A and B are shown apart, each in its own frame.
Chain A
Amino acid sequence: MLISATVIGLSLLRGARSDSSRATIENLNARVRAWWVMTALVAVALALGPIVTVVMFAVASFFALREFVTLTPTRPADYIPLLLCFYVLVPLQYALIAFGQYGTFAIGIPVYAFLLLPAFASLAADTEDFLERAAKVQWALMITVYCISYVPALFLLDIPGYERSDALLLFYLLLVVQLSDVLQYVFGKLFGKTKLAPQVSPSKTVEGLIGGGLSASAVGCALWWITPFNWWQSALMSLTIVAMGFLGGLTLSAVKRSLGAKDWGAMIEGHGGVLDRLDSVSFAAPVFFHLTRFFFT
């Protein structure tokens, strides 16, 4: 699929007439190139086993958290809570997954971190904007660490009757989410007319969402045989992943705008930062995990 995307992208570039269409196609090609790299990384990680995958997502969380914290205003009193987030909570969360501790991993951050971090911040005795700062740290931790950690957590699912590796579940989730993102972009550029939420995200359109979302769901449905679902369950799962992914992208766009930024970072050429790529996954992964766990284990 990526090969065809690359070929299409290159041939479109040769045929491009105007400057703006050239710019769009170059953007598309830059995205496709970045996708190659990401696919390669994920494929290697999955092939090397769960521990490597856990480590890889821990690193991704670290960089995503770094991006989030960079853009949100913080005060010196937030120093200890932020220090704990980066150097204690990120390794701890992923270690819990690596050691199969489902219970602790699922409630550690929402219960303990969310209560204790503002408590530490209040001990630093700086009450200016206290609620906003506490909320920002919570959000940063929730999205970049807790939600993203649900991707490698799929390895913890023990699904009776499913003899294949959980790595295929990860692959399924990531493929549907990112395909949905890319196809929404493509359909949006080709057929986009009605903007969905122009103040939040100027490039999202109804046509893009429906076209991209439905086609990504169709691919997910067609891949039912690598999952523990049958074809219609796979279709519903894919639709859920697409919907959550879309909401994740939209919500984090709103957060970005409120912080005055267009991208979370500039680490990936053509894509912005790590969090720009993982914003859809961050909403889709926990829901996919819990739906699979609820209905299939």
Chain B
Amino acid sequence: MRPSSYLLVGAVKTLFGAYPRWIGCKPNGFQRIYFANHSSHVDTLAIWSALPPQMRRTTRAVAARDYWGVGLRRYIATSVLRGVLIDRTRSDPTPNPLLPLIDVLSQGESLIIFPEGTRGKTPIPGVFKTGLYHLAVQFPHVELIPVYLENLHRSMPKGAVVPIPMICNVRFGAPVTLTELDTKESFLERARAEVIKLAGPITRV
């Protein structure tokens, strides 16, 4: 891995801790889709930094093109973080926005996604968009791991440029499986419930 990646992870851990809590699964090398709640731009950095180094090599995090696609941020997102830029705004309706994610999974790598699609204001995640369901259908052998990120909504609220150093524990839960009885809505709701369960008692808003 490049030295700049280690530097980035070091900076992230100094500011946010990014301590992994493997509650429902272990850091093995399985191909996975990690799906997490989304509250700030540093979410991507926090989950990626929480993974052990060898898993960081094969796990690609999504980054919204409208924020990460320009200038220094683009360099960080693509070369240092090795993330996947996706088009959130659907400005060009014809190509499938999930295409870059399908590419990553087809190559056997793991993925980090934020099914809410946008940054939420509360510690509880909002309604999930359908991307996770479509990926689960297309790649049934990939483990789907719910992840909860705490405190980052306080560290860098919407509109903030500089984060306040605050400890974020990254909680990895047990895999969610897509069964034949599931509809799109029931699956997404169950996945969202698993992330909420990981949040535990919310004492600090």
Binding site for B on A (CB under 8 A): 62, 65-67, 69-74, 76, 79, 82-83, 86-87, 260, 265-267
Contact = CB atoms under 8 A, between A and B. Distances in A.
Contacts of A74: 154
Contacts of A82: 164
Given A73-B204, A73-B205, A74-B154, A66 B160 contact: no
A70 B19 contact: no
Given A66-B166, A70-B151, A79 B203 contact: no
Given A72-B204, A86-B165, 7 more contacts: A69-B165, A70-B151, A79-B160, A82-B164, A87-B162, A265-B167, A266-B19
Contacts of A62: 165
B167 A66 contact: yes
B164 A67 contact: no
Contacts of A69: 164-166
Nearest to B121: A76
Q: Please list the 10 inter-chain residue pairs (A to B) with the smallest Cβ-Cβ separation, ordered nearest first.
A: A70-B167, A66-B165, A76-B157, A73-B204, A82-B164, A70-B166, A260-B203, A86-B165, A83-B164, A74-B154
Q: What size tier do the contact residues of chain B reach?
A: 10 to 19
Contact of A79 (B17, B151, B164, B167): B164
A231 B188 CA distance: 72
A265 B203 CA distance: 16
A83 B151 CA distance: 15
Interface of B: 17, 19, 151, 154, 157, 160, 162, 164-167, 203-205
Contacts of B165: 62, 65-66, 69, 86
B204 A79 contact: no
Q: Tell me whether chain B's interface is mostly helix, strand or loop, or mixed.
A: loop
Nearest to B16: A66
A78 to B, nearest CB: 9
Nearest to A59: B14
Nearest to B153: A76
A87 B15 CA distance: 11
A72 B34 CA distance: 29
A87 B164 CA distance: 9
18 contacts: A65-B165, A66-B17, A66-B166, A69-B165, A69-B166, A70-B151, A73-B204, A79-B157, A79-B164, A82-B164, A83-B162, A83-B164, A86-B164, A86-B165, A265-B17, A265-B167, A266-B19, A267-B17
Contacts of A76: 154, 157
Nearest to B203: A260
Contacts of A79: 157, 160, 164
Nearest to A67: B167
A67 B165 CA distance: 9
Contacts of A67: 167
A62 B204 CA distance: 21
A67 B169 CA distance: 12
A83 B155 CA distance: 10
A62 B167 CA distance: 12
Nearest to B157: A76
B127 to A, nearest CB: 23
A94 to B, nearest CB: 16
Nearest to A69: B166
Centre residue among B19, B151, B154, B157 by max chain A CB count within 10 A: B154
Contacts of B17: 66, 265, 267
B186 to A, nearest CB: 34
Nearest to B162: A83
Contacts of A70: 151, 166-167
A70 B165 CA distance: 8
A83 B161 CA distance: 11
A272 B157 CA distance: 28
Contacts of B154: 74, 76
Nearest to B156: A79
A86 B163 CA distance: 10
| Central interface residue in A66, A70, A73, A265, by most chain B CB within 10 Å | A70
B132 to A, nearest CB: 29
A246 to B, nearest CB: 27
A172 B162 CA distance: 39
